Copies of this chain bind each other. A is one copy, B any other.
């Protein structure tokens, strides 16, 4: 059965829908129309309906959408009903920050191991997780059913490490290193290029300056 490919533009909006639906749920709201959601989220009602209908008819004519149900369905679409086992590769400040950010665990992203090249921090613990040497990575990935690696190492070592991770059987890489990783097409890479983001802000500030003299 032929599944039509969903565009990444649509995927990118799903977490935001989830967030607003979660807030409505916390407020005790039970139903919401695409128009109400449109007002809150500042996107068109048409886009909301189009986006959702990529995955199925979650609403009901004349009623709208049930907040709790829709929340659950989007969570499922995003794969949040399953648990993921993660490792952090690179125990620098950023790696530590991510391990310490509790919200990921609540979503089923479980940090199982931390790896670093620096002997001085190997053996220490971060939020109860021991920092291990890179050499143990392969075995650890295989034995602990790790599917996602978080890459928080400098760009110099990133390509080689990514290649290793793939050979160990990793399925996804959350890449904070400032390089384009080249991996087989069944391996998913999600990039977070912080400096690119900051440059975008810089551009928008500069272009605003120019407009206003």
A residues bordering B, Cβ < 8 Å?
A: 3, 6, 8, 11-12, 14-16, 18-19, 42, 77-80, 82, 84, 92-94, 96-98, 100-101, 103-104, 107, 109, 147-148, 171-172, 174, 178, 180, 186, 188, 190, 192-208, 210-212
Contact = CB atoms under 8 A, between A and B. Distances in A.
13 contacts: A3-B211, A15-B196, A78-B199, A80-B199, A93-B101, A107-B195, A107-B199, A174-B197, A174-B198, A174-B201, A186-B208, A186-B212, A188-B204
B15 A195 contact: yes
Contacts of A190: 197-198, 200-201, 204
B147 A82 contact: no
Contacts of A19: 178, 196
A188 B198 CA distance: 11
Given A172-B201, A195-B15, A78 B206 contact: yes
A205 B192 contact: no
Contacts of A42: 180
A106 to B, nearest CB: 10
B192 A194 contact: yes
Contacts of A96: 93, 97
Nearest to A174: B201
A3 B210 contact: yes
A79 B18 CA distance: 35
Nearest to A186: B208
B109 A100 contact: no
